[in-house]
Structure formats: C-alpha cells, structure tokens
Amino acid sequence: MKKGTNINKKALIIGVSGQDGAYLAKLLLKNNYRVWGTSRDAQLSQFFGLEQLNIKDKVKKISMNPSDFYSVIKVIKKIKPDEIYNLSGQSSVGLSFEQPVETFNSISVSNLNILESIRHVNPKIKFYNASSSEMFGDTKGSPAKENSPFKPKSPYAVAKAAAHWQVSSYRDGYGLFACSGILFNHESILRPSRFVTMKIIDSVCKIASGSAKKLTLGNIDIKRDWGHAEEYVDAMWKMMQAKNPDDYIIATGKTYSLMDFIKKSFSYFNLEWEKYVVLDDSLKRPSDISLSLADPTKAAKQLNWKAKIDMNDLVELMIKGKLNESG
C-alpha cells in the first residue's frame, strides 16, 4: 500500500495495552493511521507494550470500560473511527477457571456492546474481533479449519466462542463489516510472565545467569502452534482491508510440544533441561487441550498472509529480547 493512502484513516484499538494492541498500533502508525487506544483507566495505565516499542506518545489514549455499554458508545461517538479492533478482555486460559464470570463479561459482553454501538452510531465502521484457537478444543489430529466445530474446554474458550458467533450474527443480520481472526498461540517479548511461554523464557535466562535454580511447570506434553505476535497483527489488518468481511485462521501450520519449547530454550544456553525442570501436578488446569493443529490455507490464499517465524525462531527472538531487556 502506498505511503499516505491511510493518512485520514482513524483506528480505535480496544485493549491497546496488551501485546497484540501494541504491535497493532505500531503497524497502523507505520501505515499512516491516526491511532486511538483504550484502557479502563488511561491515566493510570502504564502502557508497557507501547513504551517498549517507543510509540507511547504517538498513540492517543482514552478511558473506556468495554463491559459498560454507555462507556463504549460514548467513546465511539467521540472518536468516530473508521476501524475498530477489539483486543480487550481477560486473556489467560488458566485464570478463566478462577474468574469465569469476569472472563465472560470482559470478552463476550464487551464484544456485544461494541457491535451494538457500531450498529447504532455508524454501521459503516469496520470491526475486527480477536477470536481464539481455544474455541476448537482438542483437534484430535485433524487441523482446524474456519468451519470446524467448536468444542470449548475452558471458560475463556466458551466466552470467545460466544463473541465469535456474535460477530457472525451481526455480519449476516445487519450487514456490518465485522470479521474474526481465529488466532492460534502467538507470543513475543511483550508477553506477561503469567503466560507459560514467557515464564519459561524468563526462568531459563535467570537459570543461565545463576539467579535461579529451577523451573516449575505443569503439563509439558501439550502441543501447540506457536507464532510471533508482530506477524499476526499484520493478518488482522489485512482482514480489515479485504473487499468482504470474513473469518480466518491465523497460524503457522506447524505444531510443537511444550517440551520442544523448553528444550529449545535451554539449548540456547547449552543447558540440559532435565536438570532444571520440576513438574508439579497442582499447576495443571482442570481441563486442557492436548493437541492443537491449524490449517491457515484460507489466509494464505485470500489475504496473501503467511507466517515466517515458527517456534524455533520465536524462542530465539524472545530470549534475545529478554537478554537485551536485562542487559
């Protein structure tokens, strides 16, 4: 796209303080958008991700509570965006078992509030919803496609599935340009340490430097499709530039076990992972997906999007980023 094409376009990122929000803001700014981002309290939020990417001062911030319909409609009326990206909501599968009601409200109710606000304020606003591979549950050896059935196994996945069908309903029922990106696991140095991938990277770096001795984990046999968040936000943007709204699986198409992730992390420092990893059954979730497989063919064909960074590259990038942070 030629420079200056989007000079008058305005984007609203709901949930700009997270990993995906920060990378998306960076991409949109590069494409000459005027970017607004929300947080529940924009004055108190630190916007760590935006700061890490050196774009904090380039993004306009505004307070909004997505689970409050009045708050949502007020902000949309004020900003008058061309595009809205909903990346908000409780993002931890594990935490959703401890906070199921908050998880559903922050994901599903919030998403419905945004859709309803768009319908009433300006139906021409384009809308992107962040769906999740967790909706599929265990794919049992068959790569998930966009039309594969949902079998959610966590409160988080149930909330995401509800939000996904809301988007489909509003697209079909009201003619909104509303789409969902079904994102498989995607990580980066901006991930909080409560996510197992960052917990591993953080612990391995500490073990290598001598400031930690052990890494305690739950189920390391799970298999996932891991990509890099910065590539995945490009897919989000491409979905919003398409002629017609649709839903797409965004993934690398390659699956690895968490044990593979661990081995790769320790091997970076020439360490034997078995000497440092301690397994604790109490860290296992009440219900978990053993195998997650993806077929991102549709995104490749229709959006010309394909992931270039797989799990092996991802681990190296995250470790180098962590070392730069501490060094």
> Could you give the CA distance from residue 139 to residue 290 in angstroms, rounded to a whole number?
9
- How many CA within 13 A on the CB side of residue 9? 19
156 part of the active site:
yes
Is 169 one of the annotated active-site residues of the chain? no
Contacts of residue 190, Cβ cutoff 8 Å, sequence gap at least 6: 18, 19, 22, 23, 48, 49, 52, 53, 229
Quickly tell me which residue has 């003619």 as its tokens.
175
E strand or H helix at 228? strand 227-228
Q: Which of 23, 110, 134, 230 is catalytic?
A: 134
Q: Catalytic annotation on 51?
A: no
Which residues does 307 contact at the CB level (< 8 Å), separation at least 6?
Answer: 227, 228, 231, 232, 250, 251, 252, 253, 296
Specify whether the CB–CB gap between 180 and 131 falls below 8 A. Answer: yes
Backbone angles phi, psi at 49, to 5 degrees: -60, -45
H-run or E-run covering 128? strand 126-132
Catalytic residue, from 108, 132, 148, 203: name it. 132
* Contact assessment for residue 100 and residue 26, using Cβ atoms and an 8 Å cutoff: no
Of 288, 203, 211, 300, nearest in space to 253 by CA: 300
Catalytic residue of the set 23, 156, 256, 268 = 156
Handedness of CA 136, 140, 146, 149 (dihedral sign): negative
Active-site residues: which are they? 132, 134, 156
